[in-house]
Amino acid sequence: MAQFIDRRPNGKNKSAVNRHKFIRRYKNQIKKAVSDAIAERSITDLDRGENVNIPAKDISEPYLHHGSGGSKETAHPGNTDFVTGDRVPRPLGGGGGGGGSDATNSGEGLDDFVFQISREEFLNLFFEDLELPDLIKTQLTKLMLEKTVRAGYTTSGVPTNINVVRSLKGALSRRIALRSPYQSQLREAEDELELQLRLNEDNSPVIIELKQRIEYLKTKIKAVPFIDTFDLRYNNRVKQPYPSSQAVMFCLMDVSGSMDQSKKDIAKRFFTLLYFFLTGTYDNIELVFIRHHTVAKEVDEHEFFYSRETGGTVVSSALKLMDEIIADRYPTSEWNIYAAQASDGDNWSDDSPLCKEILINSIMPKVQYYAYIEITEDTPRGLWREFMNVKNSCANFAIQRIEKASDIFPVFQKLFKKKAA
């Protein structure tokens, strides 16, 4: 039988095994808390987890125990004051069943259990059923950049790339290797000379020969150069391809008079989901907010969602501005580009065909994925029909409708749902 040992490091005062078991058991309550948190957060507020409140009755564990035993007859008092249909008078003092301002010295209960999930657990729970479409992953592998990386040392190069430490180490090794035979012979000759001086005169042939031998060996040792061109080592650098790890997400929203605050709130939730999703894929992601009515403008997040400026509807103005920003700041060779557009579908009839042309000819070849959501309870408008033509022409274009807030997550799952194996 296979045995699995969980060796994941535990945090302080935490058990990873028990923690994951608890999350699995109460996943429904935790996922509901995660979904509710989306409406209250800023899009980029991902540096914290979430507090999950679980009612105390939901975490109570069933247990077996012995009864009192024996046969007993118990008389319970009956209700002699009320019959069906009577109205129960309100308690005096406005307490409403003990909920007044005065404290009580009786009764007991349990507070809700508060459970803190980390940032990683927050995102994993929210996106456990989602993934980037296969088409997007295929395109991502083609977006390769080159960076210069160290690749050891080479024996040739320009002087500015000389590695001094490595060269001196090589010179020291060479000197030790070349001097070692002569130094051992020199020690032997000096020992022999010392012995012969005790036995013979200074001018004896043996001593003269040994002195000549010692001088010769010292000369050979000194002749070994301190550093040679053979010792020089140069830093070697090569170009290494790597996939781009940065992305930009364009958020385009219609803020004409027909887009009320509830529709903007739905749009914010959808943009937040997309941002959460992309941060799990890329190390660096930037946001570009574009709001438009008759004219388009790049704004910050607060103005994007809460500005009260409004007007007519010319959707092509936002698409033109997005194309200009891509050309100016986000070259497609270095950035993975995503876009999400939210609108109620109202647009000037002459402008919708222009939107289709801009998307097909200018924007879709540059982006990884473009998601259009139409927030309306009515029948699709003219913009929807033109964008359906874009979908038929471009595989990386997605289009969905959202009628109410509860449709946000199902629509998002349709756009990014995992494919069956």
Per-residue pLDDT tens listing for the chain (421 residues): 566 665 555 555 456 667 777 777 777 777 776 666 655 556 555 445 666 666 655 566 666 777 677 777 776 667 777 777 788 777 665 544 444 444 445 445 555 666 677 666 766 666 665 555 544 444 444 456 677 888 888 888 888 889 899 899 989 998 888 888 888 888 888 888 888 888 877 788 888 888 888 888 888 888 888 888 888 999 988 887 766 567 888 989 888 877 777 887 788 778 877 777 776 666 677 889 998 888 889 998 888 877 777 777 788 999 999 999 999 999 888 788 889 898 888 788 788 889 999 999 999 999 988 989 888 877 777 788 888 999 998 988 989 888 887 787 788 777 776 655 5
Q: Are residues 311 and 193 in the same domain?
A: no
Q: What would the two tokens of residue 7 be? A: 């060796």
Q: Is residue 212 part of a domain?
A: yes
370 in the same domain as 278 = yes
Coil, strand or helix at 242: strand
Residue 108 lies in a domain: no
Phi-psi region of 410 (alpha: psi -120 to 50; beta: other; left: phi over 0): alpha
3 state DSSP class of 323? helix
Residues whose CB is less than 8 angstroms from the CB of residue 319 and which lie 6 or more positions away in sequence, other chains included: 252, 355, 358, 359, 362, 363
pLDDT at 102: 47
Cβ neighbors of 250 (< 8 A, separation 6 or more) are 288, 290, 322, 325, 337, 338, 339, 340
Residue 326 lies in a domain: yes
DSSP string, 124-166: HHHTTTB---HHHHHHHHH-EEEEEEEEEEES---GGGB-HHH
Quick one: 318 and 275 in the same domain? yes
Looking at the fold, whether 409 and 271 belong to one and the same domain comes out as yes
Same domain, 171 and 139: no
Question: H helices then E strands: how many in the chain?
Answer: 12, 10
Confirm if 373 and 253 have CB atoms less than 8 A apart. Answer: no
- 344, 254 Cβ separation under 8 angstroms: yes
Is residue 148 one of the residues assigned to a domain?
no
What pLDDT is recorded for position 42? 60
User: 265 and 184 in one domain?
Assistant: no
Instruction: Tally Cβ neighbours within 10 Å of residue 209.
Output: 13
Residues 339 and 382 in one domain: yes
* Edge-to-edge strands, sheet with 397-402: 296-299, 284-292, 246-254, 336-343, 369-375, 397-402
- Does residue 387 sit within a domain? yes
One domain for residues 186 and 331: no
Indicate whether 278 and 359 sit together in one domain. Answer: yes
* Cα-based distances in Å from 38 to 15, 42, 266: 28, 8, 11
Domain boundary residue among 219, 236, 253?
236
Number of domains composing the chain:
3
Q: Is residue 231 part of a domain?
A: yes
Residue tagged 């296969």 (tokens): 134
10 Å CB burial of residue 340 (0-12, 13-18, 19+) is buried
Domain membership of residue 104 (yes or no) is no
211 part of a folded domain: yes
Residues 227 and 253 in one domain: no
Residues 219 and 364 in one domain: no
The count of residues in the chain is 421
Domain CATH code at residue 273: 3.40.50.410
Cα first-last separation, the chain: 28
CA-based nearest residue to 172, from 226, 103, 134 = 226
The DSSP line for 64-131 is ------S----PPP---S--TTPPPPPPGGG-TTT-SSS--SS----PPEEEEE-HHHHHHHHTTTB-
The verdict on 289 and 385 lying in the same domain is yes
pTM of this structure: 0.51
Domain final residue pick, 178, 202, 236: 236
Question: What residue numbers bound the domain in which 166 lies?
Answer: 159-236
3 state SS of 377: coil
